[in-house]
């Protein structure tokens, strides 16, 4: 793995898991020190993260964690719903049994994450569940289009799942119900549930109304904080 890829993966994981706040300014120098590398791969990683929609690079000002507006969330969610529903239909035509197998594997990962109380692991399992539709659809362009917004939406859903309330419980229940509907051949019901499951984020996520300039006034973190935030985590089993 290249240093740029390592930096990208570690920063991405910290953003998606909610360790870095929306709108927070990221220190290229401190991240480089925390990862034990020069600033060049971190700078290149910022460019990759910008392409994923996870950071905003402001010339002469710095790099900031993305700050989604309610319109952003709605448009991304509806885009994702269209792609996943198309992928689901294609996957069902090709091999519904394989799809059930992949969804069941992801649900087993969710069970493990819930048992150990690791919501970052649950988020990874959630992503694996939805990726199964794309992977089994047989259309690589669907997955490329999905990647335009997938990581940013993953970050939003991870914040909901790790927070208070029953969002993750509803998420888990709907995942298992979707798998069971597909296994039973109730494809139309599974498709309807998938759309509702994806679009619930529009109604559930509380977004700040402050301006980007206000949000960019984030407190400076210490070197130790960066070390802690960028520490590697064990992979999902």
Q: What is the CATH number of the domain that holds 26?
A: 1.10.10.10
Indicate if 160 and 105 belong to the same structural domain. yes
Pick from 28, 67, 236: nearest CA to 152:
67
Indicate if 88 and 106 belong to the same structural domain. yes
Indicate if 13 and 96 belong to the same structural domain. no
The pLDDT value given to residue 207: 57
Structural domain includes residue 90: yes
Question: What whole-number distance in Å separates Cα of residue 228 and Cα of residue 237?
Answer: 22
Ramachandran region, residue 74 (left: φ > 0; alpha: ψ -120 to 50; beta: rest): alpha
Indicate if 125 and 193 belong to the same structural domain. yes
Q: What is the CATH number of the domain that holds 97?
A: 1.20.120.530
Q: Where are the alpha helices (DSSP H) in the chain?
A: 3-16, 28-35, 39-51, 70-94, 96-116, 119-135, 140-146, 150-162, 167-183, 187-204, 212-215, 223-229
Pick from 86, 100, 10: nearest CA to 46:
10
Structurally, the chain folds into a number of domains equal to: 2
- Kindly state the greatest CA–CA separation across the chain: 57
Structural domain includes residue 17: yes
Token pair belonging to 22: 């929306």
Token pair belonging to 229: 């935030």
The pLDDT value given to residue 182: 98
Indicate if 215 and 180 belong to the same structural domain. no
Indicate if 78 and 48 belong to the same structural domain. no
The pLDDT value given to residue 115: 92
State the 10-residue block means of pLDDT for the chain, 237 residues long: 94 90 93 95 96 92 91 92 97 97 97 87 90 96 91 82 69 96 98 94 63 50 92 56
The pLDDT value given to residue 161: 65
* HEC assignment per residue over 103-154: HHHHHHHHHHHHHHCCHHHHHHHHHHHHHHHHHCCCCHHHHHHHCCCHHHHH
- List, in sequence order, every beta strand (DSSP E) within the chain: 25-26, 55-58, 62-65
The pLDDT value given to residue 236: 44
Structural domain includes residue 16: yes
State the pTM of this model: 0.80
Indicate if 188 and 104 belong to the same structural domain. yes
Indicate if 109 and 60 belong to the same structural domain. no
Identify the sign of the CA torsion 229, 232, 233, 237: positive
């Amino acid at each position: 793995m290249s240093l740029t890829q390592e930096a990208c993966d570690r920063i991405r994981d910290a953003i998606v898991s909610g360790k870095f706040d929306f709108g927070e300014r990221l220190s290229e120098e401190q991240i480089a020190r925390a990862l034990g590398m020069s600033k060049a791969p971190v700078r290149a990683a910022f460019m990759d993260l910008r392409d994923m929609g996870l950071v905003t690079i402001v010339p002469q000002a710095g790099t900031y964690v993305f700050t989604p507006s309610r319109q952003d969330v709605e448009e991304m969610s509806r885009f994702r719903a269209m792609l996943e529903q198309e992928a689901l239909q294609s996957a069902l035509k090709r091999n519904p049994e394989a799809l059930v197998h992949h969804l069941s594997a992801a649900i087993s990962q969710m069970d493990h994450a819930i048992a150990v109380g690791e919501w970052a692991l649950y988020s990874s399992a959630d992503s694996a569940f939805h990726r199964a539709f794309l992977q089994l659809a047989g259309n690589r362009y669907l997955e490329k289009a999905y990647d335009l917004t997938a990581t940013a939406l993953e970050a939003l859903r991870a914040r909901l799942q790790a927070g208070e309330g029953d969002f993750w419980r509803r998420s888990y229940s709907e995942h298992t119900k979707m798998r069971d509907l597909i296994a039973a051949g109730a494809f139309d019901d599974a498709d309807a549930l998938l759309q509702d499951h994806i679009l619930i984020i529009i109604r559930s996520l509380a977004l700040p109304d402050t301006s980007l300039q206000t949000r960019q006034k984030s407190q400076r973190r210490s070197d130790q904080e960066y070390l802690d935030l960028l520490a590697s985590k064990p992979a999902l089993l």
